[in-house]
Amino acid sequence: MADGSDDKGSNRPKLALHVPEPRYRPGDTVDFSHIPISEPGAQPRPDEAAEAQETFPLCNDLIRVLGEDNAAHGPWDPRLDAETLRGMLREMALVRAFDNRMYRAQRQGKTSFYMKCTGEEATSVCATHALAGDDMIFPSYRQQGCLIARGYELTEMINQIYSNKADKLKGRQLPIMYCSKRLSFFSISGNLATQLPQATGFAMASASKGDSRIAATWVGEGSTAEGDFHSALTFATVYNAPVIFNVINNQWAISSFSGFAGAERATFAARAIGYGMAGLRVDGNDPLAVFAAERWAADRARANAGPTLIEHFTYRAEGHSTSDDPSAYRSAEERTEWPLGDPIMRLKNHLIQLGEWSEEQQEAMDKELDEHVRASMKQAEKNGILGHGLHHPFHTMFEDVFEELPWHLEEQAEQAIRERKIKFPEGRPE
């Protein structure tokens, strides 16, 4: 300011702007020893109906169950039977196989876009297992694991990804923006964090009706910077809404590290403290810890004891999407150096340690799942791939804007159909 710059005699210190910078950039050697990794089994487990304050120490800790010894430890061990564990392992492996195939399908030009969740499978699959089947899920875009855990047919997913004529969403949504009311899986929005107040509203509605369904929502750590996050947590605590906020801290938001959402100053779980909400911080690559935390929060919500914020501490092992090249902004070593391992490997090793699984079974399962994905792709491709004519009829473009088609949309629909006839006088398959 003009009058400030003349103020030569002032001995006030010069201000400096801090712009966060990640520790490692492309080519750097990565050392993650600064990340505090807690002892598996060492974290206390408050009662589900405890005062929110009792959870506050856990917001700066890391709930872990599976140890280096591949055994389950401590009070957060959910004591799941081997059958359930194998089910979760299978679904996580299916998610990964699906991601790999669909990524390649995008590269082969069968669709425009895809997003993997590699390394984060537990945060959706195991969390969904901890919910009741009709609890309402308000996902972000990296929760394909929730759908797979609820048994959604892969062909339905692929039809959506290909925007083909069998796509239930009529080719209207970007690939992977699924929706399934039947599976209590809300429609995915491209606008980040909007699902958070919506999940709160659903939970409030359920509570106001004396229902027993709760809501669970997922959001990336980068997106917690949106105002919707604050609105949602405020409403959730004000009305003690039965809702679970899963913050997936995978360290990156496209090319921006978590520091741009505030991670240099506080954990994401610690956001809960300011709202007086229960908060848990969990090793997101530990399937048992994820399940246990989510079940704790679900039981809490169902007992009218209030909402919970869970930070799932994990790592986005691959690029943000098919449109992203992470080697342009982060070190490739990060993935291999990540101190919390891989959720699929950890659950596999745990099952082997229990004597309930083997490397051979794992290999056979992986093969079988890949076959299943390939067969589903073949099936879906009969309905077309993106841009090859097998889409929904033109008129559907104008439907569902409103319940009934108003005159102006009817006129525009006629125009679209007329244009099509001019372009293709011989006609083309719808």
Partner 1 sequence: MTPPAETMDQERQTGEAKDAGETREMNMIEAINSALDNMLERDDDVILLGEDIGYFGGVFRCTAGLQEKYGKTRVFDTPISECGIIGVAVGMGAYGLRPVPEIQFADYIYPGLDQLISEAARLRYRSAAEFTAPMTVRSPFGGGIFGGQTHSQSPESIFTHVSGLKTVIPSTPYDAKGLLISCIEDNDPVIFFEPKRIYNGPFDGYYDKPAKSWKGFDEAQVPEGHYRIPLGKARTVREGDAMTILAYGTMVHVVESVTRSKGVNAEILDLRTLVPLDIEAIEESVRKTGRCMIVHEATRTSGFGSELSALVQERCFYHLEAPIERVTGFDTPYPHSLEWAYFPGPVRIGEAIDKLLQD
Q: Which residues bind ligand TPP (CB under 6 A)?
A: 142, 190-192, 220-223, 248, 250, 252-254, 316, 320
Distance CA(270)–CA(247), nearest Å, equals: 11
Nearer Cβ to ligand TPP, position 245 or 296? 245
**Residue 15 DSSP symbol:** P
- Binders of partner 1 in range 394-423 (CB under 8 A): 400-403, 406-408
- Give the residue with the Cβ less far from Mg ion, 213 or 320: 320
Q: What is the DSSP letter of 246?
A: E
Measured between alpha carbons, how far is 223 from 386 in angstroms, rounded to an integer?
A: 29
Q: Does 326 bind Mg ion (CB under 5 A)?
A: no
Distant-in-sequence, close-in-space partners of 390: CB < 8 Å, separation ≥ 6 = 164, 165, 383, 384, 429
Strands (E), 84-191: 136-138
Contact 348, 357 (CB under 8 A): yes
Could you say whether residue 238 binds partner 1 (CB under 8 A)? yes
Chain-centroid distance of CA 219 in Å reads: 6
Distance, in Å, from the CA atom of 331 to the CA atom of 421, rounded to the nearest integer, reads: 52
Residue 402 site contact among partner 1, Mg ion, ligand TPP, none (CB < 5 to 8 Å, cut-off depends on kind): partner 1
Nearer to ligand TPP, 248 or 369 (CB): 248
Q: CA 333, 336, 342, 348: dihedral to nearest 10 degrees?
A: 160
383 in contact with partner 1 (CB under 8 A): no
Return the residue of 183, 253, 288, 292 that touches Mg ion, per CB under 5 A: 253
200 binds, among ligand TPP, partner 1, Mg ion, none (CB under 5 to 8 A by kind): partner 1
> Taking the CA of residue 372 as centre, how many other CA atoms within 13 Å lie in the half-sphere pointing to its CB?
18
* Range in contact with partner 1 (rule: CB under 8 A) among 127-135, 228-236, 269-277, 321-329: 228-236
Q: Tokens 């956001």 correspond to what residue?
A: 271
Choosing among ligand TPP, Mg ion, partner 1, none, which partner's interface includes residue 345 (Cβ < 5 to 8 Å by kind)?
none
- Written as six digits, the tokens of 394 are 């033109």
Give the CB-side neighbour count of residue 295, counting CA atoms within 13 A. 16
Judged by CB under 5 A, does residue 220 bind Mg ion?
A: yes
Position 173 contacts partner 1 (CB under 8 A) = yes
Out of 234, 240, 256, 361, point to the residue binding partner 1 (CB under 8 A): 234
Within 8 A by CB and 6+ apart from 400, the residues are 170
β 308-313/278-283 pair status: parallel
- Over the window 32 to 61, marking each residue x when it contacts partner 1 by CB under 8 A and - when it does not, the resulting string is ------------------------------
From partner 1, Mg ion, ligand TPP, none, interface partner of 231 (C-beta below 5 to 8 A by class):
partner 1
Distance CA 300, CA 295 (A): 8
Report how many residues bind partner 1 under the rule CB under 8 A: 46
Beta carbons within 10 angstroms of residue 275's beta carbon: 18
Identify what 232 binds: partner 1, Mg ion, ligand TPP, none; CB under 5 to 8 Å per kind.
Answer: partner 1
Binding site partner of 288, from ligand TPP, partner 1, Mg ion, none, Cβ cut-off 5-8 A by kind: none
63 binds Mg ion (CB under 5 A): no
Contacting positions for partner 1 (CB under 8 A): 136, 138, 168-170, 172-173, 177, 179-181, 186-187, 189-191, 194, 196-206, 208-209, 215, 227-228, 230-232, 234-235, 238, 400-403, 406-408
The residues binding Mg ion (CB under 5 A) are 220-222, 250, 253
